[in-house]
Structure 1
Amino acid sequence: MSKKLKFYTDEHVSNSVVKGLRLRGVDALTTKEAGMLGADDKEHIAFAMKERRVIFTQDEDFLKLHSRGVKHSGIVYAHQRTPIGDIVRGLMLIYQVLESDEMKNHLEFL
């Protein structure tokens, strides 16, 4: 049985995104809250997989890892200049239409 998505944001993501998700009832965890500040990208992927969380990032390095076939629990990417409101709306749409099993090794662009 699939479950609702839980998000994990890397260091490049504004705390406003996390606040926006939480206000809408979404489970979102920051790198700082997870004690993962300074970790490399593969460590973030491993942590997210262990916690069954989809990574939301604005770091293109995660796109490279995905293209190399690195296994992950899901990645959502938005360009650095994407407005926070657009990010929250995009993440909410993904949250509403996809389940955690559908995001495994899947990449979504906002």
Structure 2
Amino acid sequence: MKDKIRFHLDEQVDPEIALQLRRRGIDVTTTVEVGLRSSSDQSQLNFIRQQNRVIFTHDKDFLIIANDTSDHPGIVYCKQRTRSIGEMIKGLILIQEIYTPEEMVGRVEYL
């Protein structure tokens, strides 16, 4: 059995997404839960590196980070208010089903 992607949700991501992913057995943390609310993008990046988690964000700054370095466990970006909660959940589930954590390293996926 291959390893599964573990997600981290940035603070502007609706917490309902974390709840629904957990109901489906997906390992997910949120910025608020791990005490990183209002922390810098660099702090978030350090956390996902330490925890080997793919970050899901609406923050375009992470696209800039990804352009500057591939030293991250993966970024999933969705422009805010362009997808429903259900669409975002389905997209994250699909990403977890088709990619391994190793395949997401340095990768940016768009929902």
The TM-score normalised by the length of structure 2 is 0.94
Aligned counterparts of 1:44 and 1:26: Cα–Cα separation in 2: 20
Instruction: Say whether the 8 Å CA contact 1:2–1:100 is kept in structure 2.
Output: no
Partner residue in 1 for 2:87: 86
Aligned counterparts of 1:102 and 1:76: Cα–Cα separation in 2: 13
| Cα drift, residue 63 of structure 1 | 0.6
Aligned counterparts of 1:2 and 1:50: Cα–Cα separation in 2: 20
Residues matched between the structures, number:
110
Instruction: Say whether the 8 Å CA contact 1:5–1:54 is kept in structure 2.
Output: yes
- Code of the residue aligned with 1:24 in structure 2: it is R
The more displaced of 62-71 and 88-97 is: 62-71
Q: Which runs of 5+ in 2 are unaligned?
A: none
Instruction: Say whether the 8 Å CA contact 1:9–1:30 is kept in structure 2.
Output: yes
Instruction: Say whether the 8 Å CA contact 1:2–1:101 is kept in structure 2.
Output: no
Report % sequence identity: 39
Partner residue in 2 for 1:49: 49
Structure 1 runs of 4+ aligned residues shifted over 6 Å read none
The TM-score normalised by the length of structure 1 is 0.95
Partner residue in 2 for 1:7: 7
Instruction: Say whether the 8 Å CA contact 1:20–1:88 is kept in structure 2.
Output: yes
Partner residue in 2 for 1:32: 32
- Cα RMSD, aligned residues only: 1.3
| Cα drift, residue 35 of structure 1 | 1.0
- Specify the SS of the correspondent of 1:65: helix
